[in-house]
Amino acid sequence: MYWRSSTDGWFSTKSSVQMIQKDKGHSKSEVKWIWDLDCTPKVKHFVWRLSKNGLPTKEKLQQRRIAVPMQCVFCNHHTENTAHLFLECSVVRDTLQRVNENFLKHSISISGINRDEKTILNILKDKLGMQQMSKLAVAWWSVWYFRNQIIFNNNTTCDATNIAEFIN
């Protein structure tokens, strides 16, 4: 149920302590703001699903004993889970950087911390504000869309430039 840190990910104790202190006031269940994002309903539903750790990532499928190749389709290196796919993957980070520099900055500051999805979303929403959070939601939805294109439609032209152009 947690966004897991990658084994080789950079980790700062100081920044994580600051982060935890900062978000102490949050109730985990307070993600109703998702429905107020400036996005289409399908993007809102996607973020809602993400907040409940309900996306069928490869790690999730394996936990349900469904045999799939575990590697992330973008970097072909790390295990695909929510933390990797939306915060830590080098290709996804490259994409986020192209869309908005703040996305990358905050993704880096927040990755490597074992927090549940709702708390991560709340921290990011507070850092970015609703307008930028809406854009990040679209960016994440697009990452998931391209990920599915690669897996199910064998579309191999999905690099960071393509995804960022699609988002913008």
Residues lying near Zn ion in the complex (CB under 5 A) are found at 72, 74-75, 89
Cβ-based nearer residue to Zn ion, 75 or 150: 75
Q: Which is nearer to Zn ion, 89 or 163 (CB)?
A: 89
| Nearest distance from C-beta of residue 57 to Zn ion, angstroms | 11
In contact, 118 and 31? CB cutoff 8 Å: yes
Of the two residues 93 and 106, which places its CB atom closer to Zn ion in the complex?
93
Closest approach of Cβ 52 to Zn ion, in Å?
22
CB of 95 to Zn ion, least distance (A): 11
Q: Which is nearer to Zn ion, 31 or 85 (CB)?
A: 85
CA distance 55 to 57: 6
Query: Which residue type does 1 have?
Result: M
What is the C-alpha separation between 157 and 96, in angstroms, rounded? 18
For 52, the token pair is: 């409940």
